[in-house]
Structure 1
Amino acid sequence: MTRVFVSRDMASVALGADEVAQAFAQAGCDVVRTGSRGLFAIEPLVEVETQAGRIGYGPVGPQHVAAVLDGSHANRLGDVDALPFFASQQRFTFARCGITDPLSLADYAAHGGWKGLEAARAMSPQAVVDAVKASGLRGRGGAGFPTGIKWQTVLDAPAGEKFIVCNADEGDSGTFADRMLMEGDPYCLIEGMAIAARAVGAGHGYIYIRSEYPFACRTMRVAIEASAHLVAPFTLEVREGAGAYVCGEETALLDSIEGKRGQVRAKPPLPALKGLFGQPTVINNVLSLAAVPFILAGGAEAYAAVGFGRSRGTMPVQLAGNVRHGGLYEIGFGITLGELVNDIGGGTASRRPVRAVQVGGPLGAYFPPSMFHLPFDYEAFAAAGGLIGHAGITVFDDSVDMAHMARFAMEFCAVESCGKCTPCRIGSTRGVEIMDRIMAHRVPPSAVQSGPGLLPSQEHGSLSKALYSRSPSRIDTSLDAQTTLLRDLCDTMKYGSLCALGGFTPYPVLSALDHFPEDFGASPSPDLAPVKEVAE
């Protein structure tokens, strides 16, 4: 019986993978459902087991079964690992995704699973924490805080009960690595959490997943039940969030797990000292915890040997938006932004010139091609006025209106704010109003139309007219006055907001204003002086 491999990843299923798998099963094949390899342009991907190894075909439809089985299909890819998109990767965290059956304990063990946990159990808790410190692992959820230091704080905290919490509330647009890992290699996350529990002395863990990820929720629950005997006495459970963006912030997430409305807590105290139910809590992102088994199994030195500057190890970069080769690309820190967008991503899907890329989700900065020399590194991006965040890269071609994108950032913050602090709650609303005045100044109000990302009930023109009629004598609507006011507002939000939602909203707004002033009605200016190369 011919054995074929078809992805069960949510993105693959959306492209028809279930129908393809069913067609091969009806043809008498042994169908193994895997995770996605991560290149969506070739999904649904089918790999056929042969004496020469697994031979890939993609994209494939249900009507192509015969052509795939006799090897005549036009989309024959050969060895998928040898494709340029995959051959140049350094897959530490995603090594099993697309290779194994995600829910097979035998597959997981056969491909190196549980070795990290075995190593951790043979070490003292302090030794485990020291190994994570030595690896240089930093939080992959966006903040980049050293993971080992966070674990050390929880280990040293006196308490009768401690918790491990996985932040799987992947709310950034253009990001999907957490979902892919949970759907394609759930035992890796479970093993990472069990190692963290061993390191700090925790007995129970929670995986907080947004309800928009039904496949991930279902897969994780099945995997937790199947592996319970292997990670005991540590226990795990899934908690579903309702989709509030602010619950990706760690303290709002804790409130949500406790059954409260998700609102940001003031710090201190830090969650590492007083977190879930008032107890010391390790809170890490999916990718942070999933990197831990490799570190314990392969050694901290092997992980730390890869990377750039203070950014060690690999980062699963997610390419999305108007890009030819959208997907997940895991590579060591240090690759340039231009290489990721042009060489790996293949430029825009529209074949028009790239005008801007946003790195770090909806609150990340926009970078023009003149800054594509930047190395993908926490410090380099911070020096350039941006952030890596969850490593999502969204590509835009030269048809994008950057003033619309700046307005969307303010509106996004206004909609998603938990409302607890004034700079975020009120500042974002005032930001939308300022952007409307700027855009009304740029184009006559009657000619302004709704832009990307706006609420259906809103139109720039009508809102701007209302603002003019409300107090025309009190509002200086000149472009200079409004842009000055916008910058001042961004400064207040950045330094006065309680959490990163309000604090990071200025990144996309100011970067759009700085790099694309012509879209705000100003005269085009030369590109800003390029950021100096960051030495390793």
Structure 2
Amino acid sequence: MTELVPVLSATWADEKSWSLDTYTAAGGYAPLKKALGMAPGDLIQAVKDSGLRGRGGAGFPTGMKWGFLPPDDGGPRYLVVNADESEPGTCKDIPTMMSAPHALVEGVIITSFAIGCNHAFIYLRGEVVHVYRRLLQAVREAYEAGHLGKNIHGSGFDLDVTVHAGAGAYICGEETALLDSLEGRRGQPRLKPPFPAVAGLYARPTVVNNVESVASVPSIVDKGVEWFTAMGTERSKGMGLFSLSGHVTRPGQYEAPLGITLRELLELAGGIREGHELKFWTPGGSSTPIFTQDHLDTPLDYESVGAAGSMLGTRALQLFDDTTCVVRAVTRWTEFYKHESCGKCTPCREGTYWLTQILKRIEKGQGTQADIQQLLDTCDSIAGRSFCALGDGATSSIISSVKLFREEYEAHVEQGGCPFDHAASALFEYADAPEEAHA
């Protein structure tokens, strides 16, 4: 059996794991002192050599992203941590910040030192008030301990950290929409170029990294590049949090090397709930094409998942057994994307609305065979044509589900309704919602 490698989650079960005392007792902030004795360029090179890739979904090399910053011109540059975790199924960053906020704070300090930033921001989804308070407490403790502020540990390095609570919008997970929101504007994606590394927050060079990416930096500094590269695969190095939810016996966070398979994770998680079999699952959240049992042995790394036709994304493994109606699941996801579309571009704004109308019609047994093809045609009008990746994400589950379960869509049409016992799934409420009123 594959063993887990608790690194970020190592102290989650400790008493008051969120406190500075607990984190320090486990070796916390020792990497910071080590990093302050290194040259910033050496820190950036170490992260490059580690092969750490962005853990927010895109998988872009973290050290390379840091290296895109232009030469210092004497003006400010910023680090912004994307903690706006909002996608259905994605639930790794919030427990990290809740259970070990100092891992993120220490990562912020080391990253800021490496890139020459003196003011960093953590942009958090505003609805998670309990996490917001815990982050504020962690930042306050770090100031009191001398890890933040002026002349940190006599190094001459100054850093302030601001925790900012957003108003609650999925689109603000897109880095440029996040920056607009942080500046007090409506959260909508910016036209690129220029990229944030050149003109980001307040039109200054900015690095935007995910929570897990930044929180992984202290362990790399502490234990070394070779330790990190010994885990994972050739091109997907290190460990990651895999979030198992849905019809699984023991849902939760499983920290394991990249390249582990769902079959191995299910063995650790007790398998699919008793009496049932896996039907379909998402490897990286609701914005990624779905997989089936045929993909149980696909290594969960960026390259293997991509080669199999999906994306590793945020490693949000939503598992659905044989009681689940795939049309209903896809409809629910699509309703989310319709609601969260910022409205900036026509393909996404209008396309997601019409996708939900067609899906609801099919699910209720009022659709036709032509509606199934219309779904695919509408997806083709959105994918690759929207301003940001939200449009692509909205179409992923539809295109892949029709490809893998077309007969199920056809059954809804031919039988005049859903062939599944809705109560047996126990994941969704199937009470018919009132029809939306339109002027």
Give the structure-2-normalised TM-score.
0.87
Contact 1:155 1:199 (8 Å CA) reproduced: no
Letter in 1 for 2:388: C
Q: How many residues matched?
A: 402
The answer to whether structure 1 residue 483 and structure 2 residue 363 are counterparts is: no
Structure 1 residue 230 corresponds to structure 2 residue 154: no
Counterpart selection for 2:194 from 269, 286, 309 = 269
The match for 2:103 is: 188
Partner of 2:388: 499
2:202 matched to 1:287? no
Quote the Cα distance in structure 2 between the aligned partners of 1:301 and 1:492.
Answer: 46
**Aligned residue among 86, 106, 111 for 2:21:** 106
- The aligned counterpart of 1:208 is 123
Q: How far, CA to CA, are the matches of 1:109 and 1:345 in structure 2?
A: 30
Distance 1:409 1:501 in 2: 12
Instruction: Give the Cα–Cα distance (whole angstroms) in 1 for the partners of residues 41 and 122 of structure 2.
Output: 24
What CA distance in whole angstroms lies between the structure 2 residues aligned with 1:182 and 1:99?
15
Q: What is the deviation of 1:519? A: 1.3
Whichever residue aligns with residue 402 of structure 2, its letter is: L
**Deviation for aligned residue 1:486:** 2.3
- Computing the radius of gyration over CA atoms, which structure comes out larger, 1 or 2? 1
Aligned twin of 1:349: 273
Among 285, 288, 292, the alignment partner of 1:364 is: 288
What pairs up with 1:286-305 in 2 under 5 angstroms? 286-305=211-230
1:2-61: CA deviation from partner (whole Å, max 9, x where unpaired): xxxxxxxxxxxxxxxxxxxxxxxxxxxxxxxxxxxxxxxxxxxxxxxxxxxxxxxxxxxx
Runs of 5+ in structure 2 lacking a partner? 150-157, 413-439
Aligned-pair CA distance for 1:437: 4.6
CA–CA distance in 2 between the matches of 1:271 and 1:213?
Answer: 26
Match of 1:321 in 2: 246
The answer as to whether partners of 1:209 and 1:241 remain within 8 angstroms in 2 is yes
Matched, 1:387 2:302: no
Structure 1 contact 167–285 (Cα < 8 Å) conserved: yes
TM-score, normalising length: structure 1? 0.72
Query: C-alpha displacement at 1:427, in angstroms?
Result: 1.2
Q: Distance in 1 between the 2:24 and 2:361 partners? A: 60
> Does the 8 Å contact 1:338/1:369 carry over to 2?
no
CA RMSD of aligned residues (A): 1.9
CA distance in 1, matches of 2:333, 2:23: 41
* Deviation for aligned residue 1:185: 1.2
Partner of 2:298: 374
1:104-253 equivalence runs, <5 A: 104-154=19-69, 156=71, 158=73, 160-228=75-143, 229-232=146-149, 233-253=158-178
Matched, 1:512 2:436: no
State whether residues 157 and 280 of structure 1, in contact with CA within 8 Å, keep that contact through their aligned partners in structure 2: no
**Do structure 1's residue 334 and structure 2's residue 259 form an aligned pair?**
yes
Distance of 1:208 and 1:353 partners within structure 2: 39
Residue equivalent to 2:417: none
Q: Hey, what does 1:11 align to over in structure 2? A: none
**C-alpha contact 1:141 1:389 (8 A) present in aligned 2:** yes
What is the match of residue 336 of structure 2?
412
Shift of 1:350: 5.4
- Structure 1 residues 80-104: Cα deviation after superposition (integer angstroms, max 9, x where no partner): xxxx9xx921112222222253343
Q: 1:105 to 1:403 in 2, by over 3 A?
A: closer
Query: Is the Cα–Cα contact under 8 Å of residues 88 and 333 in structure 2 kept in the other structure?
Result: no
| Matches of 1:105 and 1:355, distance apart in 2 | 43
1:309 aligns with 2:234: yes
Question: Is the 1:322–1:350 contact (alpha carbons within 8 Å) kept by the matching residues of 2?
Answer: no
Contact 1:129–1:152 (CA<8 Å) still a contact in 2?
yes
* Residue pair 1:410, 1:428 contacting (<8 A) in 2 also: yes
Match of 2:347 in 1: 423
Letter matched to residue 514 of structure 1: K
Amino acid in the other structure paired with 1:323: V
Deviation of 1:283 after TM superposition, in Å, equals 0.8
Q: Which has the higher contact order (CA 8 A, sep 6+)?
A: 2
Distance in 2 separating the partners of 1:332 and 1:203 = 33
Unaligned runs of 5+ in 1: 1-83, 446-463, 465-476, 524-536
The 1:201–1:273 alpha-carbon spacing in structure 2 relative to 1, beyond 3 Å, is: same
3-state SS, counterpart of residue 196 of structure 2: coil
- The CA distance in 2 between the partners of 1:400 and 1:485, in whole Å, is 23
Give the Cα–Cα distance (whole angstroms) in 2 for the partners of residues 486 and 105 of structure 1: 52
- Distance, in Å, in 2 between the alignment partners of 1:491 and 1:270 is 27
State the one-letter code of the partner of 1:160.
Answer: G
Q: Give the match's secondary structure for 2:358.
A: helix
Q: Which amino acid aligns with 2:268?
A: I
User: Would the aligned equivalents of 1:159 and 1:280 in 2 still touch at CA under 8 Å?
Assistant: no
Q: How big is the shift at 1:165?
A: 0.8
Q: Is the contact between residue 315 and residue 330 of structure 1 (CA under 8 Å) also seen in structure 2? A: yes
More deviation, 143-152/112-121: 112-121
Partner-residue secondary structure (3-state), 2:286: helix
**Which amino acid in 2 is paired with 1:156?**
P
